[in-house]
Amino acid sequence: MSGFSRHKSNLNGMPEALKGKILEAYQRLPLNQQRVADFILKQPHDLAFLTTDSLSKALKVSKATIVRFAQSLGYQGFTELQNEVLDAVQSTIRAPDRYMIDLGKLKPDETLTLVAQHEVHNIDRTVHYIDRSTFSGAVEALLSARRVYTMGIGVSSLLAEVLSYELIQVGIESQALASGKLRFVEHLALARRGDVVVGFSFPPYSKETIDAAKYARQRGLSVVTITDKLTSPITFHANHVLAVQTENMLHTNSISAISVVINALVTDVALKNKPAASKMFMESTQILKQTEEYVDKG
């Protein structure tokens, strides 16, 4: 994973050395072993409650696959790998409802309630597992960018537009790339050193977005990706990877946690660049007043 940011962090308890081993080996692993890797990277705390047998049933892989995965990383077996993770997570285990809002009084059979509970769970896991050093690195990349290009296909294109719009509102020059007559790589041919590319990539992963991220890295641009896991295809071409929980009750990706991450990125940028953000706000307000494009009172 060339260029991936591996900052030391104990937030989710994952040993940094083990995380590095998994990410370096990931593309060489068979598909079934990649499923084991994804599980450990995404929810290391859950290893405390799982045996090899229960993990194999949960992931629908053989116990031998789990053992071979551990051995491919240099461990004698899964138990040795598990113990290393558990030693690290002991100090970070917290109450599971730390960020949860109280939905207990609502009727459990209401769709609104069920969806809300699901989305809160997505946000909760995202807040807990995102590496804070990687998040800070992404913010610094946006702050120092000459220009920020955002991109994505499908619903990701809408998210790219939202991020670009909000960055402009806090004084960061930004452009959301449109896929159509020109591909993303053709748009990025005009990019210059010092520009930053933010790629949104969620299942089913867009090849155009991945190819554009690869092209940007080859040109020496900094690439930030907001995606669903540390090992999605685009991450192997990114400097900063923000993995967001997107599980949905439908077949589509949930965007609630993604929206939180977008808002957090822009808010942190604004807080660290108050003069530019304040100037942009004042100028935008003045323009709206002059053009009479808003109404003070209903």
Q: Is 10 among the domain residues?
A: no
pTM of the model as a whole: 0.73
CB 71 within 8 A of CB 63: no
Residues 182 and 280 in one domain: yes
Whose CA is closest to 73, among 37, 31, 32? Answer: 37
Residues 260 and 177 in one domain: yes
Over 70: is that where the pLDDT of 168 sits?
yes
Residues 197 and 266 in one domain: yes
CB 221 within 8 A of CB 215: no
In this structure, the dihedral spanned by the alpha carbons of residues 226, 135, 235 and 233, taken in order and rounded to 10 degrees, is -30
Residues 268 and 215 in one domain: yes
Q: Hey, how many other C-beta atoms are within 10 angstroms of the C-beta on 209?
A: 29
Q: Is 5 among the domain residues?
A: no
Mean of the pLDDT values across residues 14-41? Answer: 90
Residue 284: band (very low, low, confident or very high) from pLDDT cuts 50, 70, 90: low
Q: Is 189 among the domain residues?
A: yes
pLDDT in tens, 196-254: 999 999 999 999 999 999 999 999 999 999 999 989 999 999 999 999 999 887 778 89
CB 268 within 8 A of CB 172: no
Among 92, 118, 139, the domain boundary falls at 92
Residue 276 amino acid letter? A
What range does the domain containing 52 cover? 16-92
Q: What is the CATH number of the domain that holds 188?
A: 3.40.50.10490
Strand 174-176 relative to strand 196-201: parallel, antiparallel, unpaired? unpaired
Q: Is 172 among the domain residues?
A: yes
Residues 188 and 84 in one domain: no
Residues 141 and 278 in one domain: yes
Residues 172 and 44 in one domain: no
What does the block give as tokens for 238? 């990114």
Phi, psi at 235, each rounded to 5°: -65, -25
- When divided into structural domains, the chain yields a total of 2
